[in-house]
Chains A and B, each alone.
Chain A
C-alpha cells in the first residue's frame, strides 16, 4: 500500500502528492500522522485564522478495509483554545479518502475568493464558490451534489454561515449528518475562504493475503453485529444516556445549576425513539447504523400543511441544547439542533455559550441592551434560535463576544464561575464526578472522548475507586486512544478492536506490530501532542475549573477542589512532569 500525502495550497492554487512511507510507518496514520504533520506545517504562535495555519485530514491503515474503521481525523490549530485542534468525523469521508488514494491531505494558504476543493482520484481542482458563499450547510451539500461526480461513494464536507463568519466554534458538516464539530475547524475553513471539499475515488486495494483478510474481516464483522459490544449504539443510541445520567444525578441542567432535569423523561432517548425516530443510517463500512434521524413535523398553517425536517440527534446535543438550556420537549431540542446544523455551529459549544448567557442575564451581568431584546430564558426555544442566528451575524459586541466562546465572553462580562469550559473548550454533558473534570482538563483536545473520565466516574459510583486508580485509568485511555485514533476507528467500536484484533487486522494489510509497539506508539503520540500544546501556551499547572463544578452535586456527590487538585498533581507526577 502506497502511503501518500496530498498537499493543496490555496494561495498558489497548486496541489501535489508526496510519498511519505516513513512518516506512516513511524506514526501509523490518523492522529499520529496528523500531529506530526501539524508540527511540520504550523510554526509556533501561528494565528489559527491566518493563511499560515494548516488544515490536515488523515486516515489510518484500516479505514475502508475493515468494518467500523470509519473515522477521519482533522488536525489544526484551534481558534477556540489557541492550541491543539483535533476533531473526528464519520460519514463517507474516510472511505472516499481511501479510494481516492490519499491517506492524508494538507491544506495550506488562503484562497483569494470563496472556493471549494474537488478531489476525484488523482485530480484536484480548486473551484469558485462565490455563488454559494452565505448558503447554509445543508443546501450547500444539495448544490454540490449535482455538480460533482462520485454518487454513492463520495463525501461532501462543508461549512455554513458560522464558519464563514469565523465563529470560533463553527464546525464542518460531513455528509449532512456527521461533523467535525469541535474546536472550530469551520472557522479555519472560513478564514481560508474554503466553503467545501468534495472527494471521491475509484481505487481498488489488494491485500497481501486475501484468505486471511476474509477471515479477520469476518471475525470483526461478527463481533460488531452478533455480540453485545455495540448494542447500545444499535438500539436507542447514545441518547439512552439521558435517562441513565438523569437518574444518577450526572445530567447537566440549566447551565449545571442542577445535575438532574425534572423534564428529563420528555427528552430521553426512549422518548425520541418512540415519537420521532424514523430512520437510521450508517457511516460507510459500519453495519451498526447508530446515526439516528428524527422527523420534526411542524404545521405552518391551519390547513394541515406541514414542514418536515430530518434531524440527527445524539446524547451530546440533547444535553447541550436540551437539559442544559432547560428545554423540556423533544421538538424544541430538535429545532435547536436543526438551527445549529444549518448555521454550521458546534452544538455543544453553542449550547454551553447560551446557557451561560441565560444565567448572566438572569443575574444582571448583561441586560436586554446586550441581547438586543432577545429573551434568553430557560426553555425559551425561539429566543435561543434568534440568539444563535445573532451570534453568527454578530450585530453587536455582545454577540461578537459569544461567538468567541464562553471563556472569552465571561472574561469580558464576568460570570467565570459558571462559564462551563475546561481547557478553553465548552464542556460535554457529564457531571459525573472528578474523573470527568480532570479527564477533560488533561485531555489533549479537552474532550470527554480523550480519556472517557465520565466512564471512570460511573465505574467508581458502582464500586469505589482510589483516586490514584482513576488517574491511572485516564492515562491508560489517553494513550490507548491515541493508537485507536491512528487507525482511525470509531470509538463506539473500541470493544470490537481488542488488542489482538488490532494486531491481526494490521498484519492483514502488511503492518507487523506487537502489543509493546502499540503501547509505545500511544505514549509517543500523546507526548507529541503535548509538545504542541505547550508550545502554544497550554499550561496544565494553571488551568481554570469553573466553581460551579464544586457547587452542584454530581453523580459521585459533591466534588471538592482538593480532590481535583490532588488528581491533577498525581497526573502530572505520573506523566513525569513534576
Chain B
C-alpha cells in the first residue's frame, strides 16, 4: 500500500535549502559555448505551485516541513507556506504560497534592497539589509509574505520541502522560464 502521491521523503533527508536553483543544460559549459550548444533549451527556475488546493486535508504537514527544513524549528510562524481556514474547518482550505512573480512587487516595494530580484527572476531575501518596514508584506496581494517573531519577512525560497511532505499532492514544483538573460 502506497498512498503517498508522487512523494519520496527519502529525497528530503538533506536540508533542501538551496536558493531558487537554476537548472541548466549539462555538462556545465562556458556561457558562450552554452548559448551555442543548447539554443533550444531555455533556462528555467523552480517555482512552487498550488496545483490542487481542493485536495488539501488541513494536516499542516507542509507548514511544519517549511519551518523544520528551513529553520530547524517546530513552528507555524516560521513557515513561508500557509494553510488557512475559511469559515473554520468545515470550510475550504486556502493554501497561500509565494507565486514567484516575474515582476515581483515585494522587491519593487523594498526600500533597502533586502528583497532583491536576481537576474533569473527569483527574489532573494537579505536579512541584514532589512529594516522591517513591512512594505513587502503590503505589496504582496496574495499574502505570501508574512512577518515572523523577529519582525522580518519570511520568504519562500521555492525549495520544495513542503511538496515532499504533502500527502495529497496539493503542491508541486514547476519549472518556469527565467525572466532575465
Where the two chains meet, the residues of A that have a C-beta atom closer than 8 Å to any C-beta of B are: 64-65, 67, 91-92, 95, 99, 141-142, 145, 151-153, 156, 175-177, 202-207, 210-211, 213-215, 217-218, 221-222, 225-228, 231, 234-235, 280-289, 293, 310
Q: Which of B61, B67, B69, B90 contacts A287 (CB 8 A)?
A: B61
| Given A231-B3, A234-B3, A287-B167, A145:B9 Cβ within 8 A | no
| Given A152-B82, A285-B64, A227:B59 Cβ within 8 A | no
Interface string of B41-75 (1 = CB under 8 A from A): 00000000000000001111100100111001111
Q: Are B74 and A282 in contact (CB under 8 A)?
A: no
Q: Are B73 and A205 in contact (CB under 8 A)?
A: yes
Cα-based distance from A204 to B154 in the complex (angstroms): 14
Residues of A within 8 A of B57 (CB): 280-282, 287, 289
Residues of B within 8 A of A285 (CB): 59-61, 64
| Given A141-B88, A202-B77, A284:B4 Cβ within 8 A | no
Q: Are A176 and B74 in contact (CB under 8 A)?
A: no
Interface residues of B in 156-180 (CB under 8 A from A): 165, 167-168
| Given A228-B1, A231-B1, A177:B76 Cβ within 8 A | no
Query: Can you name the residue of chain A whose Cβ is closest to the Cβ of B73?
Result: A204
A-B pairs with beta carbons under 8 Å apart, 19 shown: A91-B89, A92-B89, A95-B60, A142-B88, A152-B76, A177-B89, A177-B90, A202-B77, A204-B149, A205-B73, A207-B72, A207-B73, A210-B68, A221-B9, A225-B4, A226-B2, A282-B59, A285-B64, A287-B167
Tell me the minimal C-beta distance from B44 to chain A in angstroms.
Answer: 28
Best-surrounded residue of B1, B2, B4 (most CB of chain A within 10 A): B1
Residues of A within 8 A of B89 (CB): 91-92, 175-177, 281
Residues of B within 8 A of A64 (CB): 74
| Given A153-B76, A204-B77, A289-B59, A214:B3 Cβ within 8 A | no
Residues of B within 8 A of A156 (CB): 88
Q: Which of A176, A235, A284 contacts B60 (CB 8 A)?
A: A284
| Given A221-B61, A280-B57, A99:B4 Cβ within 8 A | no
| Given A152-B84, A284-B60, A221:B76 Cβ within 8 A | no
Residues of A within 8 A of B74 (CB): 64-65, 204-207
Residues of B within 8 A of A283 (CB): 59
Residues of A within 8 A of B2 (CB): 226
Tell me the minimal C-beta distance from B89 to chain A in angstroms.
Answer: 5
Residues of A within 8 A of B58 (CB): 281-282, 284
Q: Are A226 and B75 in contact (CB under 8 A)?
A: no
Tell me the minimal C-beta distance from A204 to chain B in angstroms.
Answer: 4
Query: Can you name the residue of chain B whose Cβ is closest to the Cβ of A214?
Result: B68
Interface bracket on B: 35 or more
Q: Are B1 and A218 in contact (CB under 8 A)?
A: no
Q: Are B90 and A152 in contact (CB under 8 A)?
A: no
Q: Are A218 and B13 in contact (CB under 8 A)?
A: yes
Cα-based distance from A282 to B72 in the complex (angstroms): 24
Q: Are B77 and A213 in contact (CB under 8 A)?
A: no
Cα-based distance from A419 to B90 in the complex (angstroms): 36
Q: Are A218 and B3 in contact (CB under 8 A)?
A: no
Q: Are B149 and A151 in contact (CB under 8 A)?
A: no
Cα-based distance from A68 to B7 in the complex (angstroms): 18
Where the two chains meet, the residues of B that have a C-beta atom closer than 8 Å to any C-beta of A are: 1-4, 7, 9-10, 12-13, 15, 57-61, 64, 67-69, 72-78, 82-85, 87-90, 149, 165, 167-168
Q: Are A202 and B149 in contact (CB under 8 A)?
A: yes
Query: Can you name the residue of chain A whose Cβ is closest to the Cβ of B167?
Result: A287
Query: Can you name the residue of chain B whose Cβ is closest to the Cβ of A144?
Result: B88
Cα-based distance from A281 to B56 in the complex (angstroms): 8
Q: Are B85 and A289 in contact (CB under 8 A)?
A: no
| Given A202-B77, A214-B15, A234-B3, A226:B9 Cβ within 8 A | yes
Cα-based distance from A393 to B62 in the complex (angstroms): 45
Tell me the minimal C-beta distance from B138 to chain A in angstroms.
Answer: 19
Cα-based distance from A283 to B9 in the complex (angstroms): 21
Residues of B within 8 A of A141 (CB): 88
Best-surrounded residue of A202, A205, A218, A283 (most CB of chain B within 10 A): A218
Q: Are B88 and A213 in contact (CB under 8 A)?
A: no
Query: Can you name the residue of chain A whose Cβ is closest to the Cβ of B54?
Result: A279
| Given A214-B15, A282-B59, A289-B59, A206:B73 Cβ within 8 A | yes
Best-surrounded residue of B4, B59, B77, B85 (most CB of chain A within 10 A): B59
Cα-based distance from A299 to B166 in the complex (angstroms): 37
Cα-based distance from A187 to B19 in the complex (angstroms): 54
Q: Are A205 and B68 in contact (CB under 8 A)?
A: no
Cα-based distance from A13 to B5 in the complex (angstroms): 50
Given contacts A152-B84, A211-B72, A282-B59, 9 further A-B contacts (CB under 8 A): A153-B76, A175-B89, A202-B149, A205-B73, A225-B9, A225-B167, A280-B57, A281-B57, A284-B59
Query: Can you name the residue of chain A whose Cβ is closest to the Cβ of B72?
Result: A210
Residues of B within 8 A of A99 (CB): 75-76
| Given A204-B78, A221-B165, A287-B167, A226:B4 Cβ within 8 A | yes
| Given A67-B61, A99-B76, A205-B75, A289:B82 Cβ within 8 A | no
Cα-based distance from A287 to B3 in the complex (angstroms): 11
Tell me the minimal C-beta distance from B71 to chain A in angstroms.
Answer: 8
Tell me the minimal C-beta distance from B96 to chain A in angstroms.
Answer: 10
Cα-based distance from A32 to B63 in the complex (angstroms): 30
Residues of A within 8 A of B75 (CB): 99, 203-205
The 10 closest A-B pairs by CB, nearest first: A210-B72, A282-B59, A287-B167, A289-B57, A204-B75, A205-B74, A228-B1, A225-B4, A282-B57, A152-B84
